[in-house]
């Protein structure tokens, strides 16, 4: 997979994970059971593969939708009145409970009028376990508290979120120092003391791997890692 595709998936999954806490009920109960939620908008499938979230099995689908973004919420509310909705300026999140107790989450991300809408769908178990340990593959600060991690077995890729009390520049400097000692090389230079950045892309030659990490002002960090060969 090309670097730009990796970055798009990383951003999409980060948005999906962050949006989960913002769901609230808007509409009364109806008859829909939710099986058509990820196909209702006649999306074009890009990826359909298993994923493990904090060790629990789930399923991830990435698709493209070519419908006017500002009409989608009205369409979904009408078709799925039992669903829970959250809408922001450039995204819509939908949660629908399935008959077997699992639930489906749908995130629609709008990148602009000249681009198709990215649809991210996950089928999740009734309750996710708490992360017991942090994957060795993913970087983390010395004071990091794991929040969530995902493993994509088909791509040998990892994504995670953790909490830190450090400010972004300090946290990035610590992680960069640790990764450099493990033969990772910073690509953008944002982690250097001269720039005092909040995020960096690292590359490792043996085995060929890439890692992206970003620290927010709120103290939540996101990190993505993948072996390229």
Looking at the structure, tell me whether residues 186 and 92 fall in a common domain: no
Phi and psi torsions of 216, nearest 5°: -95, 165
**pLDDT class of 103 with cuts at 50, 70, 90:** confident
The pLDDT of residue 12: 52
Token readout for 104 is 């489906």
Q: 109 or 11: whose pLDDT is higher?
A: 109
Looking at the structure, tell me whether residues 18 and 104 fall in a common domain: yes
Domain limit, last residue, from 64, 90, 124 = 124
Looking at the structure, tell me whether residues 157 and 221 fall in a common domain: yes
Work out how many domains the chain is built from and give that number. 2
Looking at the structure, tell me whether residues 165 and 83 fall in a common domain: no
Domain that holds residue 221: 145-227
Looking at the structure, tell me whether residues 48 and 111 fall in a common domain: yes
Looking at the structure, tell me whether residues 7 and 112 fall in a common domain: yes
Q: What is the pLDDT of residues 45-101, one digit of tens each?
A: 888 888 888 988 888 888 999 999 889 999 999 999 989 999 887 889 999 988 888
Tell me how far the alpha carbon of residue 223 is from its chain's centroid.
10
In a domain, 63, yes or no: yes
Average pLDDT over the chain reads: 82
Domain limit, last residue, from 124, 156, 191 = 124
- 103-109 and 91-97 beta bridge pairing: antiparallel
Residue among 50, 18, 6 nearest 218 (CA):
18
Check whether 2 has a pLDDT greater than 60: no
User: 81-90, 125-134, 212-221: which range is least confident on average?
Assistant: 125-134
Longest dimension (CA), the chain: 59
Q: 194 or 49: whose pLDDT is higher?
A: 49
The pLDDT of residue 200: 92
Token readout for 176 is 């960069």
Is the Cβ–Cβ distance between 37 and 96 less than 8 Å? Answer: yes
Looking at the structure, tell me whether residues 119 and 156 fall in a common domain: no
């Amino acid at each position: 997979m090309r670097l730009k595709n990796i970055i798009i998936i990383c951003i999409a999954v980060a948005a999906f994970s962050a949006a989960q806490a913002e769901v609230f009920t808007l509409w009364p109960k109806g008859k829909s059971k939710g099986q058509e939620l990820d196909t209702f908008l006649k999306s074009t499938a890009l990826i359909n593969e298993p994923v493990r979230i904090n060790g629990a099995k789930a399923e991830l689908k990435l698709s493209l939708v070519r419908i006017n973004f500002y009409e989608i919420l009205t369409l979904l509310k009408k078709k799925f009145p039992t669903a829970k909705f959250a809408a922001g300026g450039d995204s819509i999140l939908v949660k629908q409970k399935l008959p077997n107790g699992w639930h489906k989450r749908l995130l629609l991300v709008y990148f602009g009028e000249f681009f198709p809408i990215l649809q991210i769908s996950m089928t999740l178990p009734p309750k996710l376990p708490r992360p017991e340990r942090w994957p060795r593959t993913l970087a983390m600060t010395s004071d990091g508290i794991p929040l969530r991690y995902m493993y994509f077995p088909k791509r040998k890729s990892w994504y995670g979120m953790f909490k830190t009390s450090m400010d972004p520049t300090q946290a990035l400097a610590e992680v960069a120092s640790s990764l450099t000692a493990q033969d990772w090389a910073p690509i953008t230079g944002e982690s250097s003391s001269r720039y005092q950045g909040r995020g960096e892309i690292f590359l490792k030659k043996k085995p060929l791997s890439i890692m992206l990490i970003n620290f927010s002002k709120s103290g939540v960090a996101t990190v993505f890692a993948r072996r390229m060969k």
